[in-house]
Chain A
């Protein structure tokens, strides 16, 4: 019953609780606690999760790899096992598919501009709330977080009207100061920037909440020390706040990037991928191929490319941001 007997070897390397409640340490000495029984108990607890994981996640991930090597289409839904394999031809076709490259470019555009913008807005809001003001904090925190918990479909529907060239809130406001606003979503050059603005508007609350938690973890004494050393506001931000926020930042960048790489609802509701495919994202293109044209094999190949991009980007971000810390 010893609190922590570290001396006893515990086979499970990962278990932080390993051996805590068992003075005899090694498996199966306690009456009624044989190795087999302990394993069965553990896996019984894990069973529902493992079943769901295996059937609805692991299985489909493997299946999607297989699917991407076939010419699976509508007719194969009746008899999935009768599909014919076409090797890597889907991937070869992807490389030659101009719309696929367009969707890659659009998604990259969205991520490269959208993630830093969201991050900076979130950090600004968090710093203002953490240090700048002393009242109405909850009001601002709740207010800025509202869009994050709101259905993105509803937001996209409302924003389509907000950005309406003649009847929308934005151009109505611009008109009052004498500016004739453009057709935000109908103009090929403005559609993606408009969607980026909306996504940043929606997600800055998430970055803000996580930054706030990070900022509150920075000891005030460090700022005092910096001030005594003569650091001005910018210097103490640069040399105290930023380095200490790095783990938080890594986290927000990774989560936001993974989310933004899967851009779907906004173009689906607001532009349909247009105008001129300027807002066609990878997910949107996958959806079109899979569920408008019923080329499921081809769509699975797109899904795999997206998955590899997500994994690679997350990996690189972990590497870069970790090593800079």
Chain B
């Protein structure tokens, strides 16, 4: 994905057309347009944020209020009952833990293994390098669903269904981190590494002591995107967990929402809040790193 928005050719600007008129529009017209744009953007924002507000407010409503017509925005009686049932009757602390363990392990793996390959592709000379680069590119294009069935068969054969390793292992090193770090490592001056080599540093020492610290900002982006991707992932853990105690949060929520609790508005809203709010907090605090990472690599977490 490296060849994308950076290199842009400049097309000829059309020189035909009506005779030149005064550049720029009258100030009044500009102000009116701007006001209209703000209105449109605010309406859009309300449409985007509305369902989130509905979710959060709904999670504090007693079930009876959901059935009342016409529906209301604000809860008339605020209650924590939905959360209580979520955490006491259902095993949401466990699901939360499962999601956290899996996402953390996947993130740590990607923060070590992906930069290693990124470094090799950027800074080392060896046979097979071009092949490896193509291989990483290929993984980007491969839809996850193509491997779902055989992965399930493989994991069953290895007795890894319903285990943490089964949920973690296939995602320990993804192409996103390889591209992000390779791009950064290429920009490092070789003289730096050469000096370290002369001082007798080993290749792994150079990577860990020089390369990794310099990659810190990129690693932050990579860490956040990887964590979010793993936290939100669904179809794989859905297939790979059959015992409720191994459910991740999205699997648990989807299972309850399509099963016996499907009419339980309040509890499902509360479950969504538990799944979404930690992510929203991380996102709002670190949005610059996320949106810049996405803009440069174009990968959703």
Q: How far is the CA of A10 from the CA of B127 in the complex (A)?
A: 11
Judging by beta carbons under 8 Å apart, are A210 and B239 in contact?
Answer: no
Q: Which residues of A contact B245 (CB under 8 A)?
A: none
Q: Which residues of A contact B296 (CB under 8 A)?
A: 213
Judging by beta carbons under 8 Å apart, are A283 and B145 in contact?
Answer: yes
Smallest beta-carbon distance A120→chain B, Å: 13
Find B291's partner among A63, A145, A217, A224 (CB 8 Å cutoff). Answer: A145
Smallest beta-carbon distance A223→chain B, Å: 9
Judging by beta carbons under 8 Å apart, are B116 and A48 in contact?
Answer: yes
Q: A52-75 CB contact bits vs B (8 Å, 1 = yes)?
A: 110111011101100100001000
Q: How far is the CA of A240 from the CA of B15 in the complex (A)?
A: 12
Judging by beta carbons under 8 Å apart, are A39 and B143 in contact?
Answer: no
Find B13's partner among A41, A222, A268 (CB 8 Å cutoff). Answer: A222
Judging by beta carbons under 8 Å apart, are A18 and B125 in contact?
Answer: yes
Judging by beta carbons under 8 Å apart, are A206 and B116 in contact?
Answer: no
Size category, B interface: 35 or more
Judging by beta carbons under 8 Å apart, are B122 and A307 in contact?
Answer: no
Q: Which residues of B contact A97 (CB under 8 A)?
A: none
Judging by beta carbons under 8 Å apart, are B145 and A262 in contact?
Answer: yes
Give how many A residues have a beta carbon under 8 Å from the other chain's beta carbons. 134
Smallest beta-carbon distance A315→chain B, Å: 9
Which residues in window 128-160 of A have CB below 8 A to B?
128-129, 132-133, 138-160
Known contacts A141-B291, A144-B48, A149-B228; can you find 17 more A-B pairs with CB under 8 A? A17-B122, A18-B125, A38-B126, A48-B109, A49-B178, A52-B169, A64-B146, A64-B150, A141-B287, A143-B48, A146-B283, A149-B279, A152-B250, A157-B272, A251-B4, A255-B299, A310-B141
Q: Interface residues, chain A, CB within 8 Å of chain B?
A: 1, 3, 10-22, 27, 35, 38-39, 41-46, 48-50, 52-53, 55-57, 59-61, 63-64, 67, 72, 77, 80, 125, 128-129, 132-133, 138-162, 166-169, 172, 175, 201, 205-206, 209-210, 212-214, 217-219, 222, 224-231, 235, 239-240, 243-244, 247-248, 250-252, 255, 258-259, 261-262, 264-265, 268-269, 272, 283, 286-287, 290-291, 296, 299-300, 303-304, 306-307, 310-311, 314, 325
